[in-house]
Structure 1
């Protein structure tokens, strides 16, 4: 393209090194650009993009402090600051596989390695704008999210502009999948592959179409082969991992997605899915480490949200239960520091319910169950009307850890209705929900048996056995007032008094003293408490100020 074409175009050059900006500006002038704008970092670039609709943006990958080039491109796309015909070219001195795969996934118009000449730059710029102009009707329809029109324009471009046919065909196939026309997509890719057998992206599209039609055996073979090509490697690994999840082969699904994450480590959705898979296979500490990586990776990006920090703290609570008492305390303290930091970075008033539930989980993990129950009681169950999937899952776990199966089930039921997306992340969330539901059912079945044994023993005046069974139930439901009352009553009836039984009754008294009880339980508690003071004063816990009125 001649210099007159570029003379009326707006170009933005972004690099944190002033001599490099000057050098690229000189190249742009040689190409024919006259309206040349410079930015030293992403923040300045975004400000300029908000004022000027640039035709070309050249951005270095490493931009010093703040957003890098990858995150800048994400932000410009998310804020719709790139016009349909704008060309974004990434520049970098790095050719590491992680950077290259990340660029393939993000799909800028081109990727240019330093050092380069102005002729090389002109070639890349010309190639990018020629494609944009040739397929402009497609890009405009995509920008307006008019996907059916975009498909029609793809067909028109294939017929009228054979030089750009493959680009138009690729977009059409992706749109057929996006619109869930899976049978049409399969036929489309089959016909395309009959003419061009070695199109890796078309083979990937065909595999995805087969996946959605549940022809998984064929899909696995295709995807495994496509992991050999740089162009399709990361996406093929993603889909292969999702396929293994369909087979319930969670370990290999985790390992496969982990490989994809190593190749392209900036994709936050993939990292979230990987964290879920680590949790599913039982590696809670690994899930916590991945959530920490999400926080670090999302910093400065459009994905830097409070939910990342909440999830990091939540995963640390899950991991805390895998360690001993000392390790648990250290892990919980680390989680608490994350929440404290979160409240400084984001509007804590909008996160009150999520933070309160997390702090309740901190207390429960440290064994301070009465305090945990009192704290979580500040959050009404109506809170679940507007809630994210991760927050809903956390609330279900929090109530389960406190033994409140009814409240936990409320959030599980809510999850059933909000897990409505058809993507890999949501699929892992459904599996985690399924695991939570199984925990519920197993506990309910176990408690039913234990309670029956406790009741039978009590009726037969075998108070030692009855106390042991009620204590076992209390281990699972440590905030249940009815079980706490049963423990007090059984000791008064004649169950053995030793160090272990005293510990259970102290916990029961402490719980009841700090719980809101109905009239019947209040009467029984006061009566049993008075009797215990006379018969076994040693089991009465030391009073706290807030408990004196009751005790």
Structure 2
């Protein structure tokens, strides 16, 4: 794996390991016993065993282990990849901990996954005591030599980590390549792109064939929008195992910058095949599938995400929500029968979701999804009634995916105003600078385009309404305002226009009564500015005086408002 310089490994003295804590994780008892015997031979005395990931995590909460040896396949539950991912995410690995992955398989998917997570080493079964000692010795020497860097990284003191990298290059020349690699990654993390480019150019003068330095240089160029320089470098770096997956990631992101979404999707799909356990990459691929119009493929990918994340730190309710949401999107691609089957499948996912997670915290998301189910089946009245239970901007900390789904739900119901509320919110929460967020921005652009097309249509209708009102053709004006209200049933201004037009002389019919009642109901529960509230009260009083039958008798709860 990375951070492994080419030098002759000399075994550490057995006394060094005597006071060190080591954890051995394997679901096979005889294998645990065998590796324990090897550890004792190396010099370890404080040896801990775990049969699965959950037991290992519990022990890591109690003991800051110096060494962890984990098998990749751990039976039911988390595998070694997900265990290491969890320990890193929860910061349960001490700064100088050496984590070595063990596996009986050498599949490319496992290897590429390990390259991404970057454990200290990867050891294939069967192995001898000498091989294990060599790997442990090599790993610990690297950790000790660069200990000040790792301590700073653990504390997230990145500037000091860069300083310690510079010191290590001078003081520990045999570990210079590892220190330089960390420094380059930190310069990119801190967005010092011009400095990073110059740094990588300097490194490449010394390490001309270094794939990691070439990749870092390409990324620095990418962020400075020198994309022509970047494309050739990235394409070449896809030939090397060490950089293949990451180069495919960046190449796909580059194609997105060129708006070449089809090839971006195909490129990222190749990366997913090589390292399928990276959930963020799979989510990005699902978004790209949606962007190119392949909604069924997006639904299939979201289904795979649910399965792949089942035991990982990424096992969230949002995965299930996204699976159901993508099925709704895909349902519109089929005929009536296919749509019904797809919606029923989505409904089953939501039912399962409410049982697995705390449903009380997902009420709004599930309600919005169920309204989309009804809308897809053509039951618009029921869908509108259901979604009316959710106040606009129902959460201050709404997720990007939930916000996007709410925008879609209201648009599908013809409520452009409410949909725009969520689109405006999306503009403010799409802040991260990563590939997933970039695809989400493109999806937002596509939603905005649908909005603009509908807005242009509504602009024509509103103009006709205003012109009819000016010439005192109040019946035509009311009909046009009503048509606009169908598209924007949560817009207070249109609701006021309906009431005003009725007061001015529009005819009272069962249809106009229904619209005015809906307008009054909306305004009574909305937060209005002083001017709008004043107009609302004035028109409400006039309607009651002129047309007492239009406003139904109030229930006790409504009296205070009306």
The two structures share one fold, judged by TM-score above 0.5: yes
State the match for 1:549 in structure 2.
Answer: none
Pick from 281, 285, 297: which aligns with 1:274? 285
State the match for 1:348 in structure 2.
Answer: 359
**1:63, CA displacement in angstroms?**
0.3
User: Residues 370 and 514 of structure 1 are in contact (CA less than 8 Å); yes or no, is this contact kept in structure 2?
Assistant: no
Work out whether 1:34 is the aligned partner of 2:37: no
User: Residues 18 and 44 of structure 2 are in contact (CA less than 8 Å); yes or no, is this contact kept in structure 1?
Assistant: yes
Matches within 5 A, 1:528-543: none
Work out whether 1:318 is the aligned partner of 2:329: yes
Matches within 5 A, 1:196-345: 196-345=207-356
Structure 2 counterpart SS, 1:11: strand
**1:385, CA displacement in angstroms?**
2.3
Structure 2 counterpart SS, 1:381: coil
CA distance in 2, matches of 1:262, 1:510: 55
State the match for 1:433 in structure 2.
Answer: 444
User: Residues 512 and 525 of structure 1 are in contact (CA less than 8 Å); yes or no, is this contact kept in structure 2?
Assistant: no
State the match for 1:86 in structure 2.
Answer: 97
Structure 1 residues 370 and 506: CA distance shift in structure 2, 3 A: farther
State the match for 1:390 in structure 2.
Answer: 401
**1:2, CA displacement in angstroms?**
1.8
State the match for 2:88 in structure 1.
Answer: 77
CA distance in 2, matches of 1:353, 1:286: 27
State the match for 1:173 in structure 2.
Answer: 184
Matches within 5 A, 1:469-508: none
Pick from 414, 435, 438: which aligns with 1:403? 414
State the match for 1:108 in structure 2.
Answer: 119
Give the aligned CA root-mean-square deviation in angstroms: 3.3
Structure 1 residues 328 and 514: CA distance shift in structure 2, 3 A: farther
Q: Which shifted more, 343-352 or 473-482? A: 473-482
Runs of 4+ with deviation above 2 angstroms: 446-460, 465-482, 505-527
Show CA shifts across 1:370-401 (max 9, x none): 22112111111141422111111111111111
User: Residues 276 and 429 of structure 1 are in contact (CA less than 8 Å); yes or no, is this contact kept in structure 2?
Assistant: yes
Show CA shifts across 1:175-228 (max 9, x none): 000011101100000011112210000000000000000000000000000000
Show CA shifts across 1:276-313 (max 9, x none): 11111111111111111111111111111111111111
Structure 1 residues 409 and 473: CA distance shift in structure 2, 3 A: closer
User: Residues 384 and 411 of structure 1 are in contact (CA less than 8 Å); yes or no, is this contact kept in structure 2?
Assistant: no
**1:474, CA displacement in angstroms?**
9.3
Work out whether 1:133 is the aligned partner of 2:133: no
**1:506, CA displacement in angstroms?**
12
Pick from 142, 156, 170: which aligns with 2:167? 156
Structure 1 residues 468 and 114: CA distance shift in structure 2, 3 A: farther
**1:477, CA displacement in angstroms?**
6.9
Structure 1 residues 510 and 229: CA distance shift in structure 2, 3 A: farther
Unpaired stretches in structure 2, ≥5 consecutive residues: 1-11, 524-539, 551-562
Structure 1 counterpart SS, 2:94: coil
Pick from 51, 56, 60: which aligns with 2:67? 56
Unpaired stretches in structure 1, ≥5 consecutive residues: 494-504, 528-551
Structure 2 counterpart SS, 1:57: strand
CA distance in 1, matches of 2:346, 2:513: 30
**1:35, CA displacement in angstroms?**
1.1
Structure 1 residues 12 and 517: CA distance shift in structure 2, 3 A: closer
Structure 1 residues 452 and 126: CA distance shift in structure 2, 3 A: same
CA distance in 1, matches of 2:407, 2:195: 41
User: Residues 165 and 183 of structure 2 are in contact (CA less than 8 Å); yes or no, is this contact kept in structure 1?
Assistant: yes
Structure 1 counterpart SS, 2:394: helix
State the match for 1:372 in structure 2.
Answer: 383
- Normalised TM-score (structure 2): 0.84
Structure 2 counterpart SS, 1:108: coil
Structure 1 residues 318 and 41: CA distance shift in structure 2, 3 A: same
Structure 1 residues 507 and 58: CA distance shift in structure 2, 3 A: farther
Q: Which shifted more, 165-174 or 344-353? A: 344-353
Aligned positions, number: 513
User: Residues 25 and 32 of structure 2 are in contact (CA less than 8 Å); yes or no, is this contact kept in structure 1?
Assistant: yes
User: Residues 235 and 247 of structure 2 are in contact (CA less than 8 Å); yes or no, is this contact kept in structure 1?
Assistant: yes
Structure 1 residues 281 and 506: CA distance shift in structure 2, 3 A: farther
Structure 1 residues 517 and 53: CA distance shift in structure 2, 3 A: closer
Show CA shifts across 1:332-391 (max 9, x none): 111111111111111111111111111111111111112211211111114142211111
State the match for 1:95 in structure 2.
Answer: 106
User: Residues 370 and 479 of structure 1 are in contact (CA less than 8 Å); yes or no, is this contact kept in structure 2?
Assistant: no
Structure 1 counterpart SS, 2:95: coil
- Normalised TM-score (structure 1): 0.86
CA distance in 2, matches of 1:517, 1:290: 40
